[in-house]
């Protein structure tokens, strides 16, 4: 069987700078996420106290979830770089890789932090109280 290759399309000239810009944005947001998630119980305590929900009490769970968020964010960035750079070198469209990685990372972070918040009894009590007073 002869090896016929499909003609490759080259990426537009705007793709490499946009991809690199998105990867740099990913580095910045990952650094911010890691800084906040390393002390997730402290961050949640600040947010919940400012909302009048009292202190965050699930510190062990919050710390564990915070470190999962840290690992997930760093892994997502590493995968985005690892898949984007070869595509840029091969002149293939690459801007979508950091966009997908960022969207998946943001969704996972949202789910994990929501789980940490909902696990706190003070938040659950507040939500139950809010729904009880909201029903006519």
Helix (H, G, I), strand (E, B) or coil at 64: helix
> Model pTM greater than 0.85?
no
Q: Is residue 74 part of a domain?
A: yes
pLDDT in tens, 22-72: 999 999 999 999 999 999 999 999 988 888 777 888 899 999 999 999 999
Name the domain count of the chain: 1
**Residue 93, domain extent:** 24-122
Tell me if 136 is assigned to some domain.
no
Long-range CB pairs of 85-93 (<8 Å, 24+ gap) are: 87/11, 87/19, 88/11, 88/15, 88/16, 88/19, 88/20, 90/8, 91/8, 91/10, 91/11, 92/8, 92/9, 92/10, 92/11, 93/9, 93/11, 93/12, 93/15
Note whether residue 13 is domain-resident. no
pLDDT of residue 132: 65
Which tens digits make up the pLDDT trace of 66-103? 999 999 999 999 999 999 999 999 999 999 999 999 99
């Amino acid at each position: 069987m002869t090896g016929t290759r499909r003609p490759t399309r080259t990426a537009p000239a705007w793709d490499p700078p946009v991809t690199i810009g998105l990867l740099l944005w990913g580095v910045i947001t990952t650094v911010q996420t890691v800084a906040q998630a390393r002390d997730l119980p402290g961050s949640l305590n600040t947010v919940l106290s400012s909302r009048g929900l009292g202190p965050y009490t699930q510190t062990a769970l919050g710390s564990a979830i915070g470190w999962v968020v840290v690992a997930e964010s760093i892994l997502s960035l590493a995968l985005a770089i690892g898949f984007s750079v070869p595509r840029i070198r091969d002149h293939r469209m690459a801007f979508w890789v950091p966009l997908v990685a960022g969207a998946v990372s943001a969704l996972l972070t949202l789910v994990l932090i929501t789980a940490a918040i909902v696990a706190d009894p003070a938040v659950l009590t507040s939500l139950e109280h809010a729904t009880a007073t909201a029903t006519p």
